[in-house]
Each structure stands twice: as structure tokens, then as C-alpha cells.
Structure 1
Amino acid sequence: MEPIAHAMRKTFRYAFYCLAFAAILLVLLPGYALYWQGLLIGIVGGMINTIILFTKVWRVGQVADNPGYKPGGTGTIQRFLVAGLAGYLTVLFPNLFNLAGVLIGLFLVHGLSSFFVYRSLQ
């Protein structure tokens, strides 16, 4: 489980870099504020989804140490609810968020985590 934990640390480090970069671009390019605000909410939602997925995977990995431990599910409903909330906020407040930015932000963090987990398992 140590390679996965290391990959998650790298994922969150780069996700925070992306979050800071989007915040800086929000200040520097106010004409595209809707997109950058959507990207910010998407990255935050993606980070929450990644935290949920990592904790569930970690619990499943505990079965190797303790065979009597019964893990729960994979947190699919919680992750759908977080993504749905981000999408709902985008539809509810179209003057604040752009749907394209939210979707890119949601998938950006998962793309980072997939990349780092794949590299850690090689």
C-alpha cells in the first residue's frame, strides 16, 4: 500500500499546484472568470472524490493484514453525489461557473491520480 500512498501524495501535490495556477489565472485573466471559477470548483470536487476513493482503497488493502476485516464498498455513491453537486451548482448558478471548466477540473485530478498510480506500480 505504500506505493499507492506515495502516488496519492504526489497527486494531491500536483492538484494543489493546478488549483493555485487556476486561482492565479482567475486574477490575471478576469475576462474568463466563469471558466476559471468552474475549473476551481471542479478541481476541489475532484480532490474530494480522490480522497473518498483513496480511503476506500486503503480499507480494502487492510484485508491483506487482517483477514477478518470486512471493508465496505468503493464509495461510488458518494463520488457521484460530489460530482453531481458540482454539476448542480453549475446549472444553478450559470453566472458564476462554466460547465466545461467544472468537468475538466473533475477529470483532471482523476487523470493525475491514474498517471501517478500507474507509474508507482511499474
Structure 2
Amino acid sequence: MSISAARLSGKWEGTVSHDGEVDDYAVVFEENGSLSVVTKKSGGFGTWTATDENTLEFSFREVFNPDVGQISPNGHHAAYIQIDITAELTGDTFTGAGKAVVHGPDGVVIYATDAQTTARLVS
């Protein structure tokens, strides 16, 4: 048995930790397996899949807002991040970990890092 789409669907608010930073975000999981994410400096879309009754995987492309001059830790201009997370759901909270791969304006990978997240269902 896997997580039901109805159990996961809705708006979740959380934080993601990476490279000594903590960023707030909101993610909306849809029953059809799609998702959208918003932060103060970016937004994106992706998909999610239940892997068993308490775990899920989600993947999305987070594109920086045009007015954000995002620079990666290694000094390159960043255009978007591909994020892949595996998370465990407990009640109305999930915690997870995964990879964030930062791409430049030309699509070339400029940086990769580990990310940890936690979020809570808000609606």
C-alpha cells in the first residue's frame, strides 16, 4: 500500500537546509501527481510519487525569479535548480533529504549539494 493522493494533496509549508543556509518554501501537492513550489526568490513545477505507505519521492525544477541575481557557492550565476527528494510522512509532517543540482543560464551544471527538508500540511 502507498500514500494516498488525498492524504498528501494540499499546501505544505517548510524549510530546506543546504550549505549552511535555511530557506522557507511552500509546496502544493496535487492528487494527479504534480506539484508546484514557491520561495521568496524562485518558483517551480514537478512531480511526486508515493513509494510506500509512508514515503514519497518528489522532483522539480526551481527557476530563480528574473530580479534575483542568484550566485552559486562557487561564484557562478545560477538560473535554476533541479531538486530530487525522498521524504517520510508522519501525520501532517514530512521530513526528507536529497540532491539539489544548480544550473547556469546555459543549462550547464555549476554546483551540486545535499539538502534536508521538513514541512507541515497547512491546508
Is TM (by shorter chain) over 0.5? no
Name the one with the larger helix percent: 1
Greater length-normalized contact order (CA 8 Å, ≥ 6 residues apart)? 1
TM-score, structure 2 as length reference = 0.29
The structure richer in strand per residue is 2
Q: Which has the larger radius of gyration?
A: 1
TM-score by length of 1: 0.29
